[in-house]
């Protein structure tokens, strides 16, 4: 279900996805023109509008940040810095090679600090996730992580290693992440600002 609102006189599409069994409501900025709200099946358009009103300052701030970080067709990000793609390189191959070069060094550093070791590391280009850890303690990293500043990559590595110990996002999980990444909330915001 979709509807349109205006924020700072600019039309914004709101995608409302209702799902059975959802306990919480999730608001996400997909890009500077689209918001996504995922909620339970009883969540109405009025509820969505109230949520947007409540989170308006946060939405405005992050839409502005997204606009600042928007790339032109001939640009790409690498470690948080904007570059011109002068040689028209295949960015997927570039990102995959750089991910395989950089991420294992970060994993090794934090694995030793946290005393948590993945059984396998894989690299993929994912649309929705930056990393994942399965029940076998195999970790998958998104090759697009190398677009972000190093501190964001470190946060994602710490987050996924923490899932070896805690397979959920419980308070114990976040307390554990905070030991190794005290400012993880700021780094999450930085990650979102590049989307």
Which tens digit of pLDDT belongs to each residue from 136-185?
999 999 999 999 999 999 999 999 999 999 999 999 999 999 999 999 89
Domain endpoint, select from 24, 41, 68? 68
* Residues 15 and 110 occupy one common structural domain: no
* Residues 30 and 48 occupy one common structural domain: yes
pTM across the whole model: 0.67
> Which of the pair, 62 or 111, is modelled with greater confidence?
111
Indicate whether 195 pLDDT > 60. no
Confidence tier at 8 by pLDDT (50, 70, 90): confident
Residues 112, 87: Cα–Cα separation, whole Å? 38
Q: Tell me the average pLDDT of the chain.
A: 87
Contact 156, 141 (CB under 8 A): yes
* Residues 105 and 128 occupy one common structural domain: yes
* Residues 61 and 81 occupy one common structural domain: no
Domain residues for the domain of 179 are 75-193
Residues 146, 79: Cα–Cα separation, whole Å? 6
The CATH number of the domain holding residue 124 is 3.30.2010.10
* Residues 134 and 170 occupy one common structural domain: yes
pLDDT per residue over 18-45, tens digit each?
888 777 888 888 777 888 888 888 888 8
* Residues 84 and 60 occupy one common structural domain: no
Residues 6+ apart with CB under 8 A from 172: 166
Domain endpoint, select from 12, 43, 68? 68
* Residues 116 and 167 occupy one common structural domain: yes
Residues 98, 109: Cα–Cα separation, whole Å? 17
* Residues 133 and 82 occupy one common structural domain: yes
Indicate whether 83 pLDDT > 90. no
* Residues 100 and 175 occupy one common structural domain: yes
**CA 125 to each of CA 10, 15, 83, 104, 121: distance values in angstroms, whole numbers, following the listed order:** 32, 24, 20, 17, 14
Domain endpoint, select from 53, 68, 83? 68
* Residues 31 and 125 occupy one common structural domain: no
Number of domains in the chain: 2
Average the pLDDT over 66-90 and give the result.
76
Percent of the chain whose predicted confidence (pLDDT) is above 90: 43
> Which of the pair, 9 or 178, is modelled with greater confidence?
178
* Residues 81 and 113 occupy one common structural domain: yes
* Residues 147 and 107 occupy one common structural domain: yes
């Amino acid at each position: 279900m979709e509807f349109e609102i205006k924020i700072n006189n600019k039309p914004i599409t709101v995608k409302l996805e209702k799902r059975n069994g959802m306990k919480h409501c999730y608001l996400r900025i997909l890009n500077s023109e689209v918001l996504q709200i995922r909620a339970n099946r009883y969540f109405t358009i009025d509820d969505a509008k109230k949520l947007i009103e409540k989170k308006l300052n946060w939405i405005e701030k992050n839409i502005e940040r997204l606009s600042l970080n928007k790339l032109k067709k001939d640009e790409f990000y690498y470690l948080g810095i904007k570059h011109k793609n002068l040689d028209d390189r295949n960015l997927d191959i570039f990102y995959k090679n750089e991910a395989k070069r950089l991420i294992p060094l970060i994993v090794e550093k934090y694995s030793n600090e946290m005393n948590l070791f993945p059984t396998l590391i894989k690299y993929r280009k994912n649309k929705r996730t930056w990393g994942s850890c399965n029940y076998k303690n195999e970790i998958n990293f998104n090759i697009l992580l190398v677009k972000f500043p190093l501190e964001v990559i470190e946060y994602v590595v710490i987050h996924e290693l923490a899932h070896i110990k805690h397979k959920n996002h419980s308070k114990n999980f976040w307390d554990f992440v905070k030991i190794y990444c005290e400012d993880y909330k700021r780094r999450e915001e930085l990650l979102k600002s590049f989307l």
